[in-house]
Amino acid sequence: MKTIVKILVGLLGLALFAGQAQAERIKDISTLQGVRSNQLAGYGIVVGLDGTGDQTTQTPFTVSSIISMLGQMGINIPAGTSLQLKNVAAVMVTADLPAFAKPGQNIDITVSSIGNAKSLRGGTLVMTPLKGADNQVYAMAQGNLLVAGAGASAGGSSVQVNQLGVGRVPAGATVERMVPTSLGQGGFINLELNSADFTTATRVVEAINRNFGPGTAVAVDGRQVRVAAPADNNQRVAFLSRVENLSVAPGEDIARVILNARTGSIVMNREVLLDTVAVAHGSLSVVISSEPLVSQPNALSQGQTVVSEQAQIEIKEKKGELVMLRAGATLGEVVKALNAVGATPQDLLAILQAIKAAGALKANLEII
């Protein structure tokens, strides 16, 4: 327990040091409205697998895809032919089309099996069109898969390292169509903060106006800042380069404690505070054991064998001492106080909720 406390305190010290670092750039805490990536997806076929492809009897869409592909290449498969394919797998291909991507540029793709293929290792993706939300083709994908895993099986035993059903093809897709992206509207551009915060928005406005003159930037709300920009595209790009590299001290984060009820994980940010509170923590365990009892009659008694169960119930309650948790001004002090209770992470889930209900935990509790 002491070792865990030391590790937590050390990590918290690093987190607090990072939290006190110098101001961040505007490009790190905001994005430019309209400048965004777009998701692409497509259905494709991976060939060249070493007997680890889809079982075609259970994935008929793989066979249909092969027949359709061969038909487009002028190869007709007689009706009723049963194809037993082992080196082919049906996959879903996904990619992100970056902003300002031009035709001819290459982007990375992810290839994921949608059938029951054992592995995509060593396969080659056949030319696959990638479409956007408007059902238009924006890129064409093809290439050899890179699968970060390995596996082997024999005699009913198998060994697998990492995920074999997903692979990547670096620069595996070529952009065929660009998405028009405008840098702002008319004489303005809009900066959107990653997290809505009125303090941060005000400081961004002050930093821009201090460097480019009063009235250049105006805060629309807690997330959006409108900035007057040059009309000429070349001057606008240079202007944005200067704006995004300005340093701004972000506003303080909201005190927040994240509880994961499934894993018992507890994460707090450095704004969490704790008032003085007394906590008593104990544990209650109930043990139920059952032992079969067999009654065997004598050989000449003409009796019957009787089997009964003898149950034993034991209730154990661990004594919980009342622990005084002093008010903590830093996250390190809060963690030290909670560890003083001697509870497990699962117990801390209930303790933190009780402390919050008592009004001693100055933070928002979020359960995920």
User: What are the DSSP calls for 203-233, one per residue?
Assistant: HHHHHHHHHH-TTSEEE-SSSEEEEE--SSH
Helix (H) or strand (E) holding 266: strand 265-268
180, 183, 186, 190 alpha-carbon torsion, rounded to 10° = 130
Please tell me the distance from the alpha carbon of residue 19 to that of residue 30, in angstroms, as a whole number. 18
- Two structure tokens written together for 320: 């919980």
Q: What are phi and psi of 186, to 5 degrees?
A: 65, -125
Nearest residue to 96 via CA among 26, 27, 172:
172
Q: What is the pLDDT along the chain (368 residues), one digit of tens a residue?
A: 444 444 344 444 444 444 444 578 999 999 998 888 999 999 999 999 988 888 877 888 888 888 888 888 888 888 777 777 888 999 999 999 999 999 999 999 999 999 888 889 989 999 999 999 999 999 999 999 998 866 666 556 666 666 788 999 999 999 999 998 877 777 899 999 998 889 999 999 999 999 999 999 999 999 999 999 998 888 888 999 999 999 998 877 788 888 887 777 888 887 888 788 787 766 655 555 656 766 777 766 666 776 666 666 666 666 656 667 677 656 667 677 777 767 777 777 778 888 888 888 888 888 88
pLDDT number for residue 177: 93
Q: Give the type of residue at 118.
A: K
The pLDDT, as a whole number, for residue 2 is 45
Q: What is the pLDDT of residue 232?
A: 85
Spatial CA neighbour of 125 closest among 70, 43, 42, 45: 45
Question: pTM score, two decimals?
Answer: 0.69
Q: Does domain 24-35+182-248 have CATH number 3.90.1070?
A: yes
Within 198-304, residue ranges assigned H as helices are 198-212, 233-244
Instruction: List Cβ neighbours of 138 (8 Å cut-off, separation of 6 or more).
Output: 38, 40, 97, 130, 131, 132, 175, 176, 177, 179
Confidence at residue 4, expressed as pLDDT on a 0 to 100 scale: 42
Give residue 314's pLDDT: 66
C-alpha angle 56/62/66, rounded to 5°?
110
- Strand pairing report for 364-367 and 256-260: parallel
- Within the chain, all domains assigned CATH 3.90.1070 are found at 24-35+182-248
Q: Which amino acid is at 306?
A: V
SS3 247: strand
> Is residue 73 classed as helix, strand or coil in its secondary structure?
coil
Q: Residue 23 is encoded by which pair of tokens?
A: 């101001």
* Other Cβ atoms closer than 10 A to 245: 11
CB atoms within 10 A of CB 3: 7
Query: Would strands 137-144 and 150-154 be described as parallel, antiparallel, or unpaired?
Result: unpaired
